[in-house]
Amino acid sequence: MLRREIEYFFGAIRFFTRLPVPAWVGHSAAMLDTSTRYFPAVGLIVGGLAALVYLAALPLWPPAVAVLLSMAATLYATGAFHEDGLSDTVDGLGGGWDKRRILDIMKDSRIGTYGAVALWLGLSGKFALLVAIPPALVPLALLAAHAVSRYAATLVLVSMNYVREDQQSKAKPLATRLSAGGLAVATVFAAVSLLPLPWPQALAGCCGAALATLWLAAKFHRWLGGYTGDCLGATQQVAEIAFYLGLLAAWPV
């Protein structure tokens, strides 16, 4: 039982990042489906990597440079997996006029104007917000935001239907509902990430992420009737930014 859970955990790392995992870890659609429970745990790892890079860089360079290097570390670790989902989703919702056309645009590997603007806003927004957060709080904010935003994407997966009809989507193995036990596991990892933060900032950050997730979920429901893998990536990105916004709004000036 324990070995199976460890395998699910490493399966989540393999699917959601480019980090190495042990060679004995299996690969199957069923395992990827179950590994979704560890999505927030992967966020803790990615956020922890960003925090370590930030702390290592801060004694050598200004905070803005440390933030930039920490962001580069997360992009390297994930292969810009979620940023790709953000750009595809915004391209689809911005350029499509019905469900089929939106899905076709999202599937296109080329990036359009809407997607390029979304990427620029997303990356520059994260940079500006993290630079504005007090340096001592940045590592804690990175840990929490990466875990909570991935929990937000998990909630979209749990509460909505997968809408792609083809078999080519990279998120197809995740297109089933998570069990109550799996959701509880995801909730624990998201909650643990918040413990080091002062509770007013943690609460404000969660409120920001929740509002962003509800807004996106409403759009997905209206235009698609559900979600795709790209929608989950977009949710993670927007919820992460919204978490920083909420945290910073609650920080005393």
- Give the 3-state secondary structure of the chain: CHHHHHHHHHHHHHHHCCCCCCCCCCCCHHHHHHHHHHHHHHHHHHHHHHHHHHHHHCCCCCHHHHHHHHHHHHHHHHCCHHHHHHHHHHHHHHHCCCHHHHHHHHHCCCCCHHHHHHHHHHHHHHHHHHHHCCCCCHHHHHHHHHHHHHHHHHHHHHHCCECCCCCCCCCHHHCCCCCHHHHHHHHHHHHHHHCCCCHHHHHHHHHHHHHHHHHHHHHHHHHCCCECHHHHHHHHHHHHHHHHHHHHHHCCC
Q: Has residue 244 been placed in a domain?
A: yes
Q: Has residue 225 been placed in a domain?
A: yes
- Report residue 45 as tokens: 């790892």
Q: Has residue 53 been placed in a domain?
A: yes
Give CA separation, 249 vs 9, 202, 242, in Å: 34, 11, 10
Rg over CA atoms, the chain: 17
pLDDT of the residue at 174:
53
Distance CA 153, CA 53 (A): 25
Distance CA 93, CA 208 (A): 22
Q: What is the mean pLDDT of the chain?
A: 91
Give the count of domains, the chain. Answer: 1
Res. 34 pLDDT band, cuts 50 70 90: confident
The pLDDT tens digits for 120-146 are: 999 999 999 999 999 999 999 999 999
State the pTM of this model.
Answer: 0.94
pLDDT of the residue at 173:
46
Q: Has residue 140 been placed in a domain?
A: yes
pLDDT greater than 60 at residue 172: no
* Cβ-based neighbours of 23, under 8 Å, separated by 6 or more: none
Distance CA 109, CA 15 (A): 19
Structural domain range at position 129: 40-250
Q: Has residue 51 been placed in a domain?
A: yes
Distance CA 186, CA 71 (A): 24
Q: Has residue 32 been placed in a domain?
A: no
The pLDDT tens digits for 190-235 are: 999 999 999 999 999 999 999 999 999 999 999 999 999 999 999 9
pLDDT greater than 50 at residue 240: yes
Q: Has residue 58 been placed in a domain?
A: yes
Q: Has residue 33 been placed in a domain?
A: no
